[in-house]
Amino acid sequence: MGLKAGMLCAAALFSLSGCATTSANSTASSTADGNAFWRNATVYFLMTDRFANGDPSNDRAVPQPAAPGVLRGFEGGDIRGVTQRIEEGYFNALGVDAIWTTPVITNVRGSVEEGDWGRTYAYHGYWPLDWTSVDPRFGSEADFAQMVRTAHAHNLRVFADVIINHAGPVTDAGDPRGPATPART
**Statement: the pTM of the whole predicted model exceeds 0.95:** no
The pLDDT assigned to 169 comes to 78
**Can you tell me the distance from the alpha carbon of 130 to that of 14, in angstroms, rounded to the nearest whole number?**
38
The pLDDT assigned to 130 comes to 86
pLDDT digits (tens, 9 = 90+) for 83-114: 999 999 999 999 999 999 999 999 998 899 99
Domain CATH for 111: 3.20.20.80
Look up the domain containing 115 and give its range: 3-14+42-160
Q: Please indicate, yes or no, if residue 8 is contained in any of the structural domains.
A: yes
Other CB atoms closer than 10 Å to residue 119's CB: what's the count?
Answer: 18
Q: Please indicate, yes or no, if residue 156 is contained in any of the structural domains.
A: yes
Cα angle, residue 52 at apex, residues 46 and 57 outer, rounded to 5°: 130
Q: Please indicate, yes or no, if residue 81 is contained in any of the structural domains.
A: yes
**Can you tell me the distance from the alpha carbon of 149 to that of 158, in angstroms, rounded to the nearest whole number?**
10
Q: Please indicate, yes or no, if residue 54 is contained in any of the structural domains.
A: yes
Question: What's the residue count for the chain?
Answer: 185
Cα–chain-centroid distance for residue 133?
14
Mean pLDDT value across the chain: 81
Q: Hey, CA dihedral for 171, 175, 181, 184, is it positive or negative?
A: negative
Q: Please indicate, yes or no, if residue 171 is contained in any of the structural domains.
A: no
Q: Please indicate, yes or no, if residue 74 is contained in any of the structural domains.
A: yes
Question: Using 50, 70 and 90 to split pLDDT, how confident is the model at 37?
Answer: confident
pLDDT digits (tens, 9 = 90+) for 111-168: 999 999 999 999 999 988 888 899 999 999 999 999 999 999 999 999 999 888 877 8
- For the chain, the domain total comes to 1
Q: Please indicate, yes or no, if residue 177 is contained in any of the structural domains.
A: no
CA distances from 102 to 7, 8, 46 (A): 34, 30, 6
Q: Please indicate, yes or no, if residue 174 is contained in any of the structural domains.
A: no
Whether the predicted pLDDT of 27 surpasses 90: no
Is the CB of residue 2 less than 8 Å from the CB of residue 10? Answer: no
